[in-house]
């Protein structure tokens, strides 16, 4: 089973609205990362949050991490049509060895 | 210049054939990976090499064989292709090992269709 699972699987919003997606994981982690994948392209790293951090910002992105609940959220504020993509969380965990494990992604559609 | 480039972008072939996908990174990274993305978009790691040494070898059929001639290249050879091998294969690289919180740089993917 996947270490990280995103929720919801799909999200449709209007341009200018905020988009929030969540990631839950099973075992203690070292770090959690968020990636974006545009249709037909490779994944692009967005932001990394370490296990001892609770919140990070990067431009219009805000990531939170709650290690007690084993969950993270990604908030995209003031969304744009160009934000239409799939968003994946990825964890590296002591129990998972030397690898980054991805969830199934949240597909976000931003309508103009 | 493309940081992580893989070829071909599309690969359509018959069952039973042997095919290779090539990957090169010009970032000077030490670690390279192959990931498989299925039709439901789940990404699963297949292999990882660090400085030409195999460090991750997930439960992948023996028909899949990675080869790293140098740390900038990681190729994937697949023998006796099966219908279930149809997927998008991504090459990626990182400066070090992901346990240190390294981010991955991905290629644009190779869409393999086995007919």
Q: For residue A79, what pLDDT is reported?
A: 97
Return the percentage of chain B with pLDDT > 70, whole number: 97
Return the percentage of chain B with pLDDT > 90, whole number: 78
Contacts of B97 in chain A (CB under 8 A): 98
Residue B106 is nearest to which of A42, A48, A86, comparing CB atoms? A42
CB contact under 8 Å between A104 and B41, yes or no, is: yes
Cα–Cα distance for residue pair B101/B107, rounded to 1 Å: 19
Contacts of A107 in chain B (CB under 8 A): 41
Tell me the average pLDDT across B30-53: 91
- What residue in A sits closest to B111 (Cα-Cα)? A40
- What residue in B sits closest to A97 (Cα-Cα)? B99
pLDDT value at B58 more than 90: no
* φ and ψ of B98, to 5 deg: -65, -15
Q: For residue A1, what pLDDT is reported?
A: 43
Residue B56 is nearest to which of A42, A98, A107, comparing CB atoms? A98
CA proximity to B56, closest of A3, A101, A30, A99: A99
Tell me the average pLDDT across B39-46: 90
Q: For residue A76, what pLDDT is reported?
A: 97
Query: What three-state secondary structure class fits A68?
Result: coil
Residue B95 DSSP label: S
CB contact under 8 Å between A30 and B105, yes or no, is: no
Mutation for B interface: A3, A44, A100, most B CBs within 10 A? A100
Q: For residue A100, what pLDDT is reported?
A: 86
List, for residues B64-108, the tens digit of each pLDDT value. 999 999 999 999 999 999 999 999 999 999 998 766 788 999 999
- What residue in A sits closest to B32 (Cα-Cα)? A99
End-to-end CA distance of chain A: 36
Contacts of B103 in chain A (CB under 8 A): 33, 45, 48
Residues of chain A with pLDDT under 50: 1-2
């Amino acid at each position: 089973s996947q270490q990280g699972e995103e929720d919801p699987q799909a999200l449709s919003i209007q341009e200018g609205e905020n988009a929030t997606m969540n990631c839950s994981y099973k075992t203690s982690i070292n770090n959690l990362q968020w990636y974006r994948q545009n249709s037909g392209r490779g994944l692009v790293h967005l932001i990394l949050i370490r296990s001892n951090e609770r919140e990070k910002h990067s431009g219009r992105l805000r990531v939170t991490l709650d290690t007690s609940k084993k969950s993270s959220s990604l908030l995209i504020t003031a969304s744009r049509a160009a934000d239409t993509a799939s968003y994946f969380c990825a964890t590296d965990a002591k129990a998972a060895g030397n690898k980054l494990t991805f969830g199934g992604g949240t597909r976000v559609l931003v309508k103009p | 210049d493309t940081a992580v480039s893989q070829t071909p972008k599309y690969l359509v072939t018959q069952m039973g054939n042997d095919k290779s996908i090539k990957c090169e990174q010009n970032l000077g990274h030490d670690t390279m990976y192959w990931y498989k993305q299925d039709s439901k978009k789940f990404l699963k790691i297949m292999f990882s090499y660090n400085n030409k040494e195999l460090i991750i070898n997930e439960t992948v059929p023996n028909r899949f064989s990675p080869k790293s001639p140098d740390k900038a290249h990681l190729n994937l050879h697949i023998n006796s292709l099966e219908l279930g091998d149809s997927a998008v294969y991504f090459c990626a690289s990182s400066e070090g090992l992901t346990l240190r919180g390294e981010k991955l740089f991905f290629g644009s993917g190779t869409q393999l269709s086995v007919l």
